[in-house]
Structure 1
Amino acid sequence: MRDIQDIIVRSCITIKQALGIIDKSSKQILLVIDENEKLIGTLNDGDIRRGLLGGISLEDEIEKIYFKNPTVASINDTKESIIRLAASKKIHQIPLVDSDGKLVGLDILDELIGKKKKPNKVILMVGGLGTRLRPLTENTPKPMLMVGHKPILQTIVEKFAEYGFVDIVMCVNYKSNIIQEYFGDGSLFGVNIEYVFEEKRMGTAGALSLLKEIPSEPFFVMNGDLLTNVNFEHLFHYHLSNNAIATMCVREYDFQVPYGVVNIENGKIMSIKEKPVQKFFVSAGIYMLNPEVVKHVSKDTFYDMPTLFEKLIEQNYNTLSFPIREYWMDIGRIEEYERANNEYGDVF
């Protein structure tokens, strides 16, 4: 919450104190939280003015006047849905909360529409062979397969650009010339694109060791064969507000055991559960990393992202998960490719 820390208050402060905070901030709103950091309301200049007109004193606590039923958005809401919500409610600022109701950020309508450019780099891993998608990938790299009348990789680039993340590095290998010829320097797509060449396959993290410059700000890493509506700005704020060194997007995966599962202790049957559903969280192939993470990547060797996270966990770094509830599709098999094409028009 670094970008909103100056406007977070408790309900026990006075109206006079609240006015002082509002005057110092450019956001013109205060976010009121309880002892558990859950959002319980908002306060703006209009609320204060109405309170003063009603006879409230400047020395009274804001408990008497702050708005206790604010419109909020989830960190999993898309940019488009938040814009629609703001428009329907005729408001310009919407607090963001997580699944527990804890405050994690603030979306401002003008910034959502204005596409303000941000300095955070986007590293796209697009060097895979796509063997499971053959024969589609015999002459075309997997990220360049057409879904919704455009390459998968173009949709990824456009989604990042929507949120103002326009500095993109593509780590390429298999048939890299096709990707380069299509995207060039990125100017036709409103972004800046650099290329890192993998002379051999480097895995989902190994190519980070080949970067010409280590990013100066937290940066995204994403596999180039994904289609998703995840709100990248919310991922960014979530990463910052929790002081994480590395954040992994995760997706819930359900698996139903096709048999009755027998629970046995010392040979005795304790219970039988018919066809239980097992739930897991799996990596979604989207990450937010701090610059210092790069030094933990082994140089000039195959290195996958799970291995990197395991190393960070072993060294007690703060590694977090960011659950994705929006649309997400890993296009690794023919049936997933066909499904993505069927769903693309409705989702994007």
Structure 2
Amino acid sequence: MKVVLFCGGLGTRLRDYSESVPKPMVNIGYRPILWHLMKYYAHYGHKEFILCLGYKADFIKEYFLNYNECLSNDFVLSGGGKQLLMLGSDIQDWKITFVDTGLHSNIGQRLKAVEKHLAGEEMFLANYSDGLTDLPLDHYINNFIRHDKIASFLCVKPTQTFHVVSTQEDGVVTSIQHVTDSDTRINGGFFAFKTEIFKYMEAGEELVIEPFQRLIEKEQLLAYKYDGFWTCMDTFRDKQNLDDMYSQGKAVWEVWKRNA
């Protein structure tokens, strides 16, 4: 299936980095988080990508136009540096479509902007491009197909450090607990759609507000609960945590390395 990646946001919550590079291009190790995500999808056989560009689109285009395979693959250098033999490849069999979807567009507008690039497809995948997981993607897709709904999203527990509070009407607290210990779940940003989704979208609408509400009314929206690894890179602290996992050899989202 084709994979639509939303790469055009301003990334204001990661300001220390997003002022110089777009959020999806912030590095984890040698490669940007966008690459890690694309590598994840490619591992499951989904190697045709549509990038919805906006903020600093030129940075993303130049990265792939000048892609350096040597950074994350083994190679042999000989002839005094004149001969290079690659022992592996990352993106040789990837197909990437770059689409300018507007500087200030919301997610719904970006998805509508690439509708023509999904012509003839029955289903497609989509992602916010700021989260990583070790989710068995094939299981997720099979669940979506089996339930025969129009849309599905990954439903996870939040990783933030805030607390959930319940009160009586007068404000008296009845419970307070860390959000990860509560039943609260959030949209993890990993989507599967039938192309019928476009029938539920109107111009200017945000994807998870009006269109998703229409799907809910028709019982056509599916949540896939997952309690394995998932995290997003919203803040500098999130980036630090991902960097630490990577440097310590605990990058569990690198599912492509499990059988290496």
TM above 0.5: yes
Contact map agreement 1:202 1:303 (CA 8 A) in 2: no
Give the 3-state SS of the residue equivalent to 2:37 in structure 1. Answer: helix
Look up the match of 1:84: none
CA distance in 1, matches of 2:200, 2:118: 12
Look up the match of 2:74: none
TM-score, scaled to structure 2 = 0.76
The C-alpha deviation readout for 1:140-168, integer Å capped at 9, x for no partner, is: 01100111221100001111000000111
Contact map agreement 2:102 2:110 (CA 8 A) in 1: no
Contact map agreement 1:214 1:294 (CA 8 A) in 2: no
Aligned CA-pair RMSD? 2.6
CA distance in 1, matches of 2:49, 2:16: 29
Over 3 Å counting, the alpha-carbon distance change for 1:179 and 1:276 in structure 2 is closer
Over 3 Å counting, the alpha-carbon distance change for 1:174 and 1:263 in structure 2 is closer
Matched, 1:290 2:194: yes
Over 3 Å counting, the alpha-carbon distance change for 1:274 and 1:232 in structure 2 is closer
CA distance in 1, matches of 2:15, 2:155: 27
Relative contact order (alpha carbons < 8 A, sep ≥ 6): 1 or 2 greater?
A: 2
Q: How does 1:256-295 map to 2 (within 5 A)?
A: 256-257=163-164, 263=168, 273=174, 275-276=176-177, 278-295=182-199
Residue identity (%)? 26
Look up the match of 1:320: 222
Matched to 2:238, the amino acid is: E
Over 3 Å counting, the alpha-carbon distance change for 1:139 and 1:247 in structure 2 is same
Over 3 Å counting, the alpha-carbon distance change for 1:296 and 1:342 in structure 2 is same
Look up the match of 2:123: 218
In structure 2, runs of 5+ residues without a counterpart are: 68-88, 255-260
Q: How does 1:195-234 map to 2 (within 5 A)?
A: 195-211=98-114, 212-215=116-119, 216-234=121-139
Q: How does 1:144-223 map to 2 (within 5 A)?
A: 144-184=25-65, 189=91, 190-211=93-114, 212-215=116-119, 216-223=121-128
Matched, 1:135 2:16: yes
Over 3 Å counting, the alpha-carbon distance change for 1:249 and 1:306 in structure 2 is farther
Contact map agreement 1:202 1:302 (CA 8 A) in 2: no
Over 3 Å counting, the alpha-carbon distance change for 1:323 and 1:184 in structure 2 is farther
CA distance in 1, matches of 2:27, 2:101: 24
In structure 1, runs of 5+ residues without a counterpart are: 1-119
Look up the match of 1:251: 156
CA distance in 1, matches of 2:133, 2:145: 21
Matched to 2:193, the amino acid is: L
CA distance in 1, matches of 2:228, 2:53: 27
